[in-house]
């Protein structure tokens, strides 16, 4: 599903430049608020000399799954007003609340199905937001159950370990400049400076930075974040790769036993959700990000996010049992019962979930009031003529002319104007055959579970 995008301004304590992406404005869709990590990257995840598009890639992925998304520039950066250098953690949380409220008010968004996705520092912001704003779920990428201080300590430990492993004069220079002890000492000096003043900003080693931001981050521990997540009580997805140099994947253990939490630590996946192909040196991480960002998000991570997000698709009406008026039937094309089809290779590779809804029958009798609303996953058939259907929401309208077999009209932005023949087996499964008006008849393409 191709994404449509609109640039908007979100009102609040700061006016935030944002981009809304969606597949369709018909009906009410679930939504994802994307909260970025530290720094001054723009809403897509790009900055001067750094084009990674991580947040745009996430947005495209979520739209493909059937969600509306919004991503935004931090206050004081790019198209947003305010002062970035004096902003604190509480300000960024407040901005995220404003964006979430803005999305909930959109006429094509279901306010009860808004999920917050936080990456890096955004995972901390999303966790704190959940204490202030009612959201349907949390997706925490590269930072779940981790406070800023522990994240910085983890990074300094990795830098110290890798500097010890470097040989020659380069290794000697690194050990003198970036040993764990020296890095921790500089951090502690910064922490003391920020905690000993009430000013919003300080200058540290010649750089202006937000003392308020440091102070407010230091007021939370990793145990605090884990406690908030344990008390959240709604679906959570926490993903941190084993090759993440900014957040320790072992922090997931503090919430792994939470019934509502899904934790995933993909092997060899870094902070921008790409699979590494080098020695994963923290000294070369910027170059690694720029190089790997041209590749797609790790496949296992994409699939995990897709499966988790599927629970927020509309199930409010519940499944409805459909019975073929012609009685149990067998596909004329393949001649196999559904039990045989379950064991077939094609059936294994086709999957979607269908939900029934009842509408008023048409006056002319061609539409008996039954429809199936389906979310189709991509199908890879194993037979000649099989095609790939993009994941999207489609509608199967039950039509039947007098004396004919049931027929369903299939609508969807990618599928176009097509007709479908339907076979129903014991009210549990449907096998859809479709004919493209502009092309030849194709084989069975989608198996939809009604049970």
Q: Which of 102-106, 235-239, 422-426 has the lowest mean pLDDT?
A: 422-426
Q: What is the mean pLDDT of residues 202-224?
A: 95
Q: Residue 317 has what pLDDT?
A: 36
Helix (H, G, I), strand (E, B) or coil at 193: helix
Question: Long-range contacts made by residues 171-180, C-beta under 8 angstroms, separation at least 24?
Answer: 174/283, 180/156
Q: Residue 362 has what pLDDT?
A: 45
- pLDDT at residue 436 above 50? no
In this structure, the answer to whether residues 355 and 420 fall within a common structural domain is yes
Model confidence band, residue 360 (pLDDT cutoffs 50, 70, 90): very low
Q: State residue 93 phi and psi, 5-degree precision.
A: -65, -45
109 membership: H or E segment, kind and range: strand 109-119
Please tell me the distance from the alpha carbon of residue 300 to that of residue 273, in angstroms, as a whole number: 10
In this structure, the answer to whether residues 241 and 126 fall within a common structural domain is yes
Paired sense of beta strands 418-425 and 407-411, if any? antiparallel
Q: Is residue 116 a contact partner of residue 126, using CB atoms and an 8 Å limit? A: yes
Residue range 221-258, pLDDT digits in tens: 999 999 999 999 999 999 999 999 999 999 999 999 99
Q: Residue 177 has what pLDDT?
A: 60
Q: What is the mean pLDDT of residues 80-98?
A: 97
- pLDDT at residue 328 above 80? no
Q: What is the mean pLDDT of residues 155-159?
A: 90
291 membership: H or E segment, kind and range: helix 285-292
Q: Residue 49 has what pLDDT?
A: 83
Residue 280 lies in a domain: yes
Bridge partner residues of 410 (DSSP): 396, 418
Residue where a domain stops, chosen among 217, 234, 252? 217
Tell me the torsion sign for CA atoms 120, 121, 124, 129. Answer: negative
In this structure, the answer to whether residues 77 and 136 fall within a common structural domain is yes
Choose between 175 and 14: higher pLDDT.
14
Q: State residue 222 phi and psi, 5-degree precision.
A: -60, -35
Q: Let me know if 391 is exposed, middle or buried by CB neighbors in 10 A (0-12, 13-18, 19+).
A: middle
Residue 386 lies in a domain: yes
Choose between 249 and 384: higher pLDDT.
249
In this structure, the answer to whether residues 395 and 256 fall within a common structural domain is no
In this structure, the answer to whether residues 346 and 442 fall within a common structural domain is yes
Choose between 45 and 377: higher pLDDT.
45
In this structure, the answer to whether residues 197 and 142 fall within a common structural domain is no
Paired sense of beta strands 207-210 and 201-204, if any? antiparallel
DSSP string, 36-81: --SSS--TTSEETTEE--HHHHHHHHHHHTT-EEEEEPPTTSTT--
Residue count of the chain, please give it: 451
In this structure, the answer to whether residues 275 and 138 fall within a common structural domain is yes
Average pLDDT score over the chain = 76
Q: State residue 206 phi and psi, 5-degree precision.
A: 80, 0
Q: Residue 318 has what pLDDT?
A: 37
In this structure, the answer to whether residues 175 and 265 fall within a common structural domain is no
Model confidence band, residue 178 (pLDDT cutoffs 50, 70, 90): low
362 DSSP assignment: P
In this structure, the answer to whether residues 177 and 121 fall within a common structural domain is no
Q: Let me know if 331 is exposed, middle or buried by CB neighbors in 10 A (0-12, 13-18, 19+).
A: middle
Q: What is the mean pLDDT of residues 247-275?
A: 97
Residue range 35-63, pLDDT digits in tens: 999 999 999 999 988 899 999 999 999 99
Choose between 393 and 276: higher pLDDT.
276
Please tell me the distance from the alpha carbon of residue 44 to that of residue 397, in angstroms, as a whole number: 38
Choose between 277 and 2: higher pLDDT.
277
Residue 326 lies in a domain: no
In this structure, the answer to whether residues 30 and 136 fall within a common structural domain is yes
Q: Residue 62 has what pLDDT?
A: 98
186 DSSP assignment: H
Residue 327 lies in a domain: no
CATH number at residue 242: 3.40.50.1820
Model confidence band, residue 182 (pLDDT cutoffs 50, 70, 90): confident
pTM: 0.70
159 membership: H or E segment, kind and range: helix 148-165
Q: Residue 379 has what pLDDT?
A: 33
Choose between 165 and 198: higher pLDDT.
198
In this structure, the answer to whether residues 425 and 307 fall within a common structural domain is no
Residue where a domain stops, chosen among 187, 217, 247? 217
Residue 318 lies in a domain: no
Residue range 338-355, pLDDT digits in tens: 333 333 333 333 333 333
Residue 333 lies in a domain: no
- pLDDT at residue 388 above 80? no
Q: Residue 333 has what pLDDT?
A: 30
What is the number of domains present in the chain?
Answer: 3
In this structure, the answer to whether residues 133 and 39 fall within a common structural domain is yes
Q: Residue 386 has what pLDDT?
A: 36
Domain coverage including residue 348: 338-449
Q: What is the mean pLDDT of residues 278-301?
A: 94
Please tell me the distance from the alpha carbon of residue 101 to that of residue 93, in angstroms, as a whole number: 12
- pLDDT at residue 124 above 90? yes
State the Rg of the chain over Cα: 26
Residue where a domain stops, chosen among 184, 200, 217? 217
Residue 179 lies in a domain: yes
Kindly report the number of other CB atoms within 10 A of residue 326's CB atom. Answer: 12
**Residues of the chain with pLDDT > 70: what percent?**
66
Residue 321 lies in a domain: no
Q: State residue 394 phi and psi, 5-degree precision.
A: -130, 165
């Amino acid at each position: 599903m191709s994404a449509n995008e609109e640039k908007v301004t979100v009102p609040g304590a700061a006016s935030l430049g944002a981009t809304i992406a969606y597949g369709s404005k018909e009906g009410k869709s679930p939504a994802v608020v994307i909260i970025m990590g530290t720094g001054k990257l723009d809403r897509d995840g790009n900055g001067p000399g750094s084009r990674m598009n991580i947040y745009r890639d996430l947005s495209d992925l979520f739209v493909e799954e059937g969600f509306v998304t919004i991503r935004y520039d931090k206050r004081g950066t790019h198209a947003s007003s305010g002062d970035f250098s004096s902003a604190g953690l509480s300000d960024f949380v407040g901005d995220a609340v404003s964006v979430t409220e803005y999305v909930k008010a959109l006429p094509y968004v279901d306010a009860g199905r808004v999920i917050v996705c936080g990456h890096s520092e955004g995972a901390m912001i999303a966790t704190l937001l959940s204490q202030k704003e009612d959201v349907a779920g949390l997706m925490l990428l590269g930072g779940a159950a981790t406070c800023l201080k522990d994240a910085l300590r983890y990074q300094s430990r990795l830098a110290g370990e890798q500097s010890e492993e470097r040989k020659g004069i380069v290794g000697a220079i690194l050990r003198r400049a970036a040993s764990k002890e020296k890095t921790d000492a500089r951090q502690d000096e910064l922490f003391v400076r920020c905690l000993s003043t009430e000013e919003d900003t300080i200058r540290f080693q010649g750089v202006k930075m937000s003392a308020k931001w440091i102070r407010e981050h230091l007021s939370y521990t990793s145990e605090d974040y884990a406690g908030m997540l344990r008390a959240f009580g709604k679906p959570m997805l926490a993903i941190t790769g084993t090759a993440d140099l900014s957040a320790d994947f072992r922090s997931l253990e503090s919430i792994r036993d939470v019934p509502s939490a899904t934790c995933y630590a993909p092997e060899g996946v870094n902070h921008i959700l790409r699979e590494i192909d080098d020695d994963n040196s923290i000294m070369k991480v910027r170059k690694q990000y720029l190089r790997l960002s041209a590749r797609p998000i790790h496949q296992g991570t994409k699939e995990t996010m897709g499966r988790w997000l599927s629970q927020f698709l509309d199930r409010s009406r519940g499944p409805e049992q459909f019975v073929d008026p012609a009685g149990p039937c067998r596909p004329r094309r393949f001649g196999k019962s559904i039990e045989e089809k379950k064991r077939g290779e094609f059936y294994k590779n086709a999957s979607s979930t269908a939900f029934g809804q009842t509408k008023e029958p048409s006056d002319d009798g061609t539409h008996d009031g039954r429809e199936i609303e389906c979310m189709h996953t991509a199908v890879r058939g194993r037979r000649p003529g099989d095609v790939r259907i993009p994941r999207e929401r489609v509608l199967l309208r039950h039509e039947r002319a007098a004396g004919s077999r049931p027929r369903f009209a299939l609508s969807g932005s990618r599928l176009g104007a097509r007709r479908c023949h339907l076979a129903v087996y014991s009210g549990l499964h449907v096998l859809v055959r479709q004919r493209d008006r502009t092309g030849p008849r194709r084989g069975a393409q989608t198996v939809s579970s009604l049970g």
